[in-house]
Amino acid sequence: MHPQKSHAGAVLTIDLNALRANYRLLRQQAGSAACAAVLKANAYGLGADRVAPALAAEGCRHFFVAHLDEAIALRPHLPPPAEIFVLHGVPPGAEKECIVHQLIPVLNSLQQIQAWHALALEMGQALPAIVQVDTGMSRMGLSPVEVEAWLDNSAFMKSIQLLYVMSHLACAEHQDHPMNGTQLARFNALRQRLPNVAASLANSSGIFLGPDFQFDLVRPGAALYGIAPVAGAANPLQPVASLQGRILQTRLIERGDHVGYGSRYSASEQRRIATVSVGYADGWLRSMSHRGVAFIDGVAVPMVGTISMDSITLDVSAIAAERLYAGAAVDLICAQHPVDAVAELAGTIGYEVLTSLGNRYYREYVGG
């Protein structure tokens, strides 16, 4: 759905200049490592077709998505020499699609390695790939036993042009978490057995663990989009997404009146309530009911009542009535109330807030 701006319940603004500034900061932080960009889930909900060219213009050459079809859809927006890597590898039988679209799989299992190897033999040439090893997350990549089977088979080394060996950190946003050192040690032990192969370990937060974690290629996603990379520290990134909802109508309620489904809010005195045209179907997570907040001209207004599918209700008693006309703007994500703060009120992480952003919003791209 592509709503008209004047009809939409909310406007989602995506600042491509801020995105580019974040990329520059991360690249600088990554020292001599190349800086990739992770664009899975439609660039964390912000629009891969717009984010990708903006980052390519900034000099980014390595792009990661999760699914093969995400990579195929992205290719027209990212012509070579940009390289597109598929984090989940190739679904069995779809290997040739990678060749057709010039995509590079991340091989996560012996089965995926075997299939890529078979295609290389069929084509009579070595085929490029990344191999992922599991260093402690138990999610994707070769297990220690599979690593041995892979390294023991010299045919794989001939048929597969190994661009990087990679792994993924489980706890990188917590800088003093012991898992970071454990995973680094396991990764370094593997690297000693592949001395001439480039390596990639760090996501956004991993970049900030320092040079030991950066290797040859870093893979930030969240930080590009303004999410704080280090728990408990100031966020050096610029916000990229902002969201302005619109007031549908307002009403005065009296002491004892209720608001919303379940009648869980009741007014202790006369209040003015504004209904805003954004709800959980737009990704305004229902877990924020009774605890969310919005801003009007910089003044915080609490969300009251349960969040509905298509609307929320705000206690706007603190705001001058003239400011509360139908169509008036209300800031839901803004500099004062960034994605991470929204996430905390929803009991989740900024990643989920961004990737939940709905498709009924009018999306406006600025800069780029």
Ligand X SMILES: *Cc1c(COP(=O)(O)O)cnc(C)c1O
Comparing CB distances to ligand X, the nearer of 35 and 87 is: 87
Q: How far is the CB of 233 from ligand X (least distance, A)?
A: 15
Residue whose CB is nearest to ligand X in the complex, by number? 221
Q: At its nearest, how many Å lie between ligand X and the CB of residue 287? A: 21
Determine the Cα angle at 285 with ends 330 and 313, to 5°.
Answer: 45
CA R_g for the chain: 24
Nearest distance, CB of residue 69 and ligand X, angstroms: 16
Q: Binding site annotation covers 139?
A: yes
Please, what is the angle between helix 144-152 and helix 110-123, to 10°?
A: 20
Token pair of 64, please?
Answer: 């990661």
State the Cα–Cα distance between residues 315 and 326, nearest whole angstrom. Answer: 15
CB of 221: closest distance to ligand X in angstroms?
Answer: 3
Closer to ligand X by CB, 71 or 274: give it. 71
Shortest Å, Cβ 224 to ligand X? 8
Q: Which two tokens stand for residue 141?
A: 């990549």
Six-digit token pair at 109?
């299992």
Q: Pick the catalytic residue: 96, 158, 261, 325? A: 261
State whether the Cα torsion 314-319-325-329 is positive or negative. negative
* 52 to 224, 301, 315: CA distances (angstroms): 11, 36, 39
CB of 87 or CB of 314, closer to ligand X: 87
Is residue 261 among the annotated active site residues? yes
Residue 129 and residue 105 in contact, taking contact as beta carbons nearer than 8 Å: yes
Nearer to ligand X (CB atom), residue 136 or residue 220: 220
Residue of 40, 44, 164, 351 marked catalytic: 40
d(CA 330, CA 353): 18
Number of Cβ atoms within 10 Å of the Cβ of 224: 27
Q: Is 158 a catalytic residue?
A: no
The residue (of 10 and 36) whose beta carbon lies closer to ligand X is 36
Binding site for ligand X (CB under 6 A): 38, 40, 87, 168, 203-205, 219-223
What is the distance between the alpha carbons of residues 365 and 17, in angstroms, rounded to a whole number? 10
Q: Is 286 annotated as a binding residue?
A: no
User: For 110-138, b where at least 16 C-beta lie within 10 A, e where not — what string?
Assistant: bebbebbbebbeeeeeebbbbbbbbbbee
Q: How far is the CB of 272 from ligand X (least distance, A)?
A: 40
Instruction: Determine the residue type at 114.
Output: Q
Residues with Cβ within 8 Å of 105's Cβ and at least 6 positions away in sequence, in order, are: 85, 86, 89, 90, 95, 98, 112, 116, 129, 130
Nearer to ligand X, 30 or 87 (CB): 87
d(CA 25, CA 236): 8
Residue 356 DSSP SS3: helix
- The annotation places the binding site for substrate at 139, 309
Catalytic residues: 40, 261
